[in-house]
C-alpha cells in the first residue's frame, strides 16, 4: 500500500499519544482519518491539530463496547464506501502490584481495554477491510508483550495476548488481501504514565515519574515507523532503543533480558512491593 492518498484509516485511542500522532501523520499523506477515543475532549484536540486539510469522521467510543464498534464500522462504510486501514491502538497501563496483591477488578479492566479492545476492533472492521483490493490491519501491542517487567503482570499478560492474537489472525487470514502488522513499541513519551489508575496522589505522581524515566521515544517517531510499516506491509514494527534492544535480548538471551528488567525495576520501581514478596519467598 505505497500510496495512502484517499485511503480511509480508522484509529482507536486517537485522542492522545500514538493515536493522535498517527492521525496527524496519516492526514498529511492524504488519508481520511476516522477517529475513535473514549474522550471527546481528546478527539477535539486531535482534530484541531490536524487542521482543515482532511475530511474527518469521529465518534467517542469505548473500545470495550463491541456493539458500538460494530455499528460505527457500518456507519463508516456507508459514508465512504470503503475502509482500508484499521489501527487498534487504544490501551492502558496497569498500576504496580505484585502478583499476590493484584486487584482483580483492575486486572480485568486492563485486559478488557488492551486485549478485548483489539479483539472488538478486529471483528468490527476486518470484514470491511476484506472487501478492498488491499488493506492493512494494525494491532499495537507492546515490547512488554515479548519481554516482561516486574509488578505489571496484567499489562504484560494483556499485551502478550495481543501478540498471540495477532499471529493467529495472520494464520487465519493467510492468502487474503489484508496485510497484518504487529507493533511492539518501547516506552514512549505519551500520557500512559499520567493516566495510571491510582487513588493515592503521591503514589500516582511517583508512578508517572517512573514511567517517564523510561519513556524516551516521541509518539511522532513511533507513528512514522508504523506508517512506514503499513506502506511496506511489515509483519512487525518495533520502536525505541529499549524496545528493539530488549526484544532482541529476549529472543536470544532470555535469562539476561529478565535480569536486566528485574534489576532496573528493583532500582526504580515500588520498593514496598518487592519487600513484601521477599518476606514471603526469601
Q: Residue 121: pLDDT band by 50, 70, 90 thresholds?
A: very high
User: Please, are residues 161 and 264 in contact by the beta-carbon 8 Å criterion?
Assistant: no
Grid cell, residue 261, equals 528488567
Grid cell, residue 112, equals 478488557
| Predicted pLDDT at 91 | 95
Quick one: average pLDDT of 76-94? 96
Quick one: average pLDDT of 30-57? 92
| Predicted pLDDT at 20 | 97
Task: Please give the mean pLDDT across all residues of the chain.
Answer: 90
* 155 has a pLDDT exceeding 90: yes
Grid cell, residue 111, equals 485486559
Report, as residue numbers or ranges, the catalytic residues: 155
| Predicted pLDDT at 250 | 82
Quick one: average pLDDT of 27-56? 93
* 271 has a pLDDT exceeding 60: yes
pLDDT in tens, 182-237: 999 987 666 664 566 555 555 556 555 555 656 567 899 999 999 999 999 999 99
Q: Residue 240: pLDDT band by 50, 70, 90 thresholds?
A: confident
Percent of the chain with pLDDT over 70: 89
Q: Is 60 exposed, middle or buried (0-12, 13-18, 19+ CB in 10 A)?
A: middle
| Predicted pLDDT at 159 | 97
* 96 has a pLDDT exceeding 90: no
Residue 202 to residue 223: CA distance in whole angstroms: 32
For the domain made up of 8-281, the CATH class stated in words is alpha beta
Tally: H helices and E strands in the chain: 11, 7
- Crossing angle between the packed helical segments 219-232 and 17-28, to the nearest 10 degrees: 60
The domain segmentation of the chain, as residue ranges, is 8-281
Percent of the chain with pLDDT over 90: 66
Distances (CA, A) of 153 to 22, 39, 147: 28, 26, 12
Residue 91: name the closest of 146, 16, 25, 24 by CA.
Answer: 16
| Predicted pLDDT at 226 | 97
Name which of 63-67, 110-114, 221-225, 272-276 the model is least confident about. 272-276
Amino acid at each position: 500500500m505505497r500510496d495512502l492518498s484517499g485511503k480511509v484509516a480508522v484509529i482507536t485511542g486517537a485522542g492522545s499519544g500514538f493515536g493522535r500522532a498517527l492521525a496527524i501523520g496519516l492526514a498529511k499523506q492524504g488519508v481520511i482519518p476516522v477517529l475513535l477515543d473514549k474522550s471527546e475532549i481528546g478527539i477535539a484536540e486531535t482534530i484541531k491539530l490536524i487542521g482543515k486539510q482532511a475530511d474527518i469522521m469521529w465518534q467517542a467510543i469505548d473500545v470495550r463496547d463491541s456493539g458500538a464498534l460494530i455499528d460505527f464500522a457500518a456507519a463508516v462504510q456507508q459514508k465512504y464506501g470503503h475502509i482500508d486501514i484499521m489501527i487498534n491502538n487504544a490501551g492502558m497501563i496497569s498500576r504496580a502490584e505484585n502478583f499476590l496483591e493484584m486487584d482483580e477488578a483492575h486486572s480485568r479492566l486492563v485486559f478488557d481495554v488492551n486485549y478485548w479492545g483489539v479483539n472488538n476492533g478486529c471483528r468490527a472492521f476486518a470484514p470491511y477491510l476484506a472487501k478492498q483490493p488491499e488493506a492493512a490491519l494494525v494491532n499495537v501491542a507492546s515490547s512488554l508483550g515479548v519481554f516482561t517487567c516486574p509488578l505489571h503482570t496484567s499489562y504484560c499478560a494483556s499485551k502478550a495476548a495481543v501478540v498471540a492474537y495477532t499471529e493467529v489472525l495472520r494464520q487465519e487470514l493467510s492468502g487474503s488481501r489484508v496485510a497484518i502488522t504487529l507493533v511492539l513499541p518501547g516506552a514512549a513519551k505519551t500520557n500512559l504514565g499520567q493516566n495510571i489508575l491510582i487513588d493515592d496522589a503521591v503514589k500516582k505522581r511517583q508512578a508517572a515519574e517512573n514511567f517517564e524515566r523510561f519513556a524516551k521515544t516521541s509518539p511522532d517517531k513511533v507513528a512514522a515507523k508504523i506508517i512506514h510499516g503499513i506502506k511496506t506491509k511489515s509483519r512487525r514494527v518495533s520502536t525505541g532503543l529499549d524496545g528493539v534492544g530488549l526484544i532482541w535480548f529476549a529472543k536470544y538471551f532470555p535469562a539476561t533480558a529478565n535480569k536486566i528488567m528485574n534489576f532496573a525495576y528493583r532500582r526504580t520501581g515500588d520498593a514496598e512491593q518487592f519487600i513484601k514478596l521477599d518476606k514471603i519467598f526469601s
